[in-house]
Structure 1
Amino acid sequence: MTDELDLLREANPVSADSGPWRDRPLDGRAELLLRRLPSRDRRRRTVRRRAVWSLGAAAAATVVALALTVSGTGSSPAVAAPRPLPLVAHASRADVPLADIVRRTRAAAEESPGKSERGSHFQSWALGMKSGEDAVTLPRESLTRWNADGSGSTLEVATDPRHPGRPVIEDGPPPRTVHDGKVLSEDHYPPGIYGANQSYFEDPPAGASALRTYLAVWSPGADRDPVELLSAIQSFLRVWTPGPRQRADIVTLLSGIEGMRPAGKVTDRLGREGQGFRFTGTPGSRYLIVLDPDDGRVLDVEETVTEDDPEYRVKAGDVMSYTAYMS
């Protein structure tokens, strides 16, 4: 209870000079501060950034990876598979500048604003590290869908890393697993939930500035730090599938990140062609963001190491994590 009280006091949603507070709703500032509390609490518990897992998480990943085998006789554990190679970008005269993608997405949004949909479908991979030991890998595919009555389901499957990019979940009513994979979790939600137990449960607003503020409610720092902003966009895309308007807003936010540089054309792990942009974040890490040059969809976000780290047995150029958004 002490931790919760400390967080509430620090947030100070209703200050001493804000006038009588009884029997009246909180104002906008107070609502914003209260909503930030869960995210701030999560930040306090983050010991090390850049996908360095806790001992418990690493141990759990090891168990899953050891249990995940390829179907058929004589199968072997998927944990023995090599780490993925970084995506390769090829610069050419046909590259589409980020400013042009912004203009395209803005024009498309004005013509047909559309609507963002709750739910997402993505593949992800992360390098779990523990000092002095070989890294643990756990590739996953996740599908979340919501119905008109607020009911929904989430299916998460551990995939075989020897077949990167091969979908293991078939979207449909209901979703089902295909190919090799081990179900990590499968949850069903009753009507009326609509993801209220998730971050970003409210409908996203229109406008890049408003979207940045919305993201910062759940990811404090996203309104001022480019690394936090990029992290918040990734988290948002795990909850929502943006419509044209939100895609335009996301691309606009990315275009405003200082240091975002064109990288060239990229064929991602799902065989899709996109336009790559690089961004050097915190010292020792670099991001590659792959966009669909026609509609501005974020196809992939990949983080690589730029410096050797003998303690965690990683070398410059190693992939730290990647996410491929499929919906």
Structure 2
Amino acid sequence: MNAVDEVRQVLGGLDPARTAPLCDDSRRGQVLARILADDRGAGTARRTVPRRRLVLAAVGAVAVAAAGGGVAVELYRQPEPAYAATPVMLTYGPPATAEPASTRLRRLAAVAAQQPMPPRPAGTVEHLESTNWFLNSSISGGRTVSAVVPQRWRSWRTDDDAGRMVKKDLPPMFRSDADRRQWKKWGGRVESSEKVHDYAAGEFYSGFRGAVPTDAAALRGWLRAGGSAPQAPVQYLEDAAQLAGVRLLNPPQRAAALTLLADLPGITVTGTVTDRAGRTGEAFSITTNAHGLPAQYTVIVEARSGTLLGYEEVLTTTAGKLNVTIPAVITYRSYLVAEYAAPPR
């Protein structure tokens, strides 16, 4: 097997595609601290998103870097596997009703559609905040060294698709000091970093520009505009999850997104759950090996408003060459803020 084939095998299941209640600054800080504290309590080495674009470059060994978050992999030739800890699995309780997922999601879509439109003071723009978790791995023959990279995303978008995106990488966490040293030796980052991207009119967040459709069929086409047709239905679930992290969805738009999910073949009810920010929701999943490794892709919905609270990916039966123990959470996103606010200065 050559290096490129090995990269494809390793990353087969890790190419996922791609609003939360309002809270004040104090609450936001508490939620972020809780999420990061939970991760450290779960272990010290782990990994997701909003769509991960993988860039491959061949330079003797093969290097793979994820643009905008995701999985970064470098192939070397060296020792044996050590297993990275991943976040504690969420605990799912009994479903809220005995209805199948398609029926329940349509009911939640109806709830969303009935919500009042969010107030919008003059001079404000779409403002969103989320916490995201990514596993970055360096693979050396039979050995993998992993770093958990928590990220905080903040964005501001104007009506003409200008705006700002701020992505802050918090200090990576490692399974051991030895992993940290090896990671640093291979050129990996071990400090916090922040990237600020300002967009001119018409350039904000490629693919999600303009008004979000309020009809499920129109939304399906809008999500894939300019791109190829998805290879599997799970792609639409991933797209909807990514959308919720970068666009403020009003009630009709949330209803369209939930109706789109209801129409996806293979979607099931996972159960009721308390998410990683301490909020109660209902979870719906698609389990598939469409991206390579068998994985469960889950969205969490708040039942009283039809708001998307979060998204997770879990490897279910095999991890390939990744140093995680199955089942393993390999991605999560928590949507913490979705509101109209004054643009940053």
Q: Which TM-score band (shorter chain)?
A: 0.5 to 0.7
Contact 1:95 1:275 in 2 (8 A): no
What TM-score, normalized by structure 1, do the two folds share?
Answer: 0.63
- Say if 1:228 and 1:189 are closer, same or farther in 2 by CA, change over 3 A: closer
1:267 Cα offset (Å)? 0.8
Please state if 1:120 is matched with 2:123.
Answer: no
Structure with the largest fraction of helix: 1
5+ residue gaps in structure 2? 1-6, 16-53, 57-62, 70-83, 174-190, 339-345
Classify 1:161/1:302 alpha carbon distance in 2 versus 1 (closer, same or farther; 3 Å).
farther
Q: What SS is found at the alignment partner of 1:90?
A: coil
- Counterpart of 1:106, as a letter, is A
Report the alpha carbon displacement of residue 161 of structure 1 after superposing the two structures with TM. Answer: 7.2
Partner of 2:214: 206
- The answer for the alignment partner of 1:277 in structure 2 is 284
2:86 maps to a residue whose letter is R
Find the counterpart in structure 1 of residue 94 from structure 2: 91
Deviations 1:37-68 (A, max 9, x none): xxxxxxxxx9544337653527x99xxxxxxx
Matched, 1:318 2:328: yes
Q: Does 1:105 align with 2:109?
A: yes
Q: Distance in 2 between matches of 1:95 and 1:184?
A: 45
Separation of aligned partners in 1, 2:155 and 2:296 = 29
- Normalized per residue, the structure richer in strand is 2
Name the residue aligned to 2:147.
136
Q: Is the 8 A contact 2:254 2:307 kept in 1?
A: yes
Secondary structure of 2:65's partner? Answer: helix
Take 2:276 and 2:225, find their aligned partners in 1: how far apart are those partners?
Answer: 32
Indicate how the Cα distance of structure 1 residues 195 and 272 shifts in structure 2: closer, same or farther if over 3 A, else same.
Answer: farther
Match of 2:21 in 1: none
How far residue 152 of structure 1 moved from its aligned partner, in angstroms, is: 2.7
The SS at the match of 2:145 is coil
Q: Answer yes or no: is the 8 Å Cα contact 1:308–1:314 preserved in 2.
A: no
> Retained in 2: the 8 A contact 1:219–1:232?
no
Compare relative contact order (CA 8 Å, sep 6+) and give the higher one, 1 or 2.
2
Decide which structure has the larger Cα Rg and report it: 1
- In 1, Cα distance between equivalents of 2:126 and 2:96: 37
Match of 1:292 among 265, 283, 302: 302
RMSD: 3.6
TM-score norm. by structure 2 comes to 0.60
**How far is the alpha carbon of 1:119 from its aligned partner?**
5.0
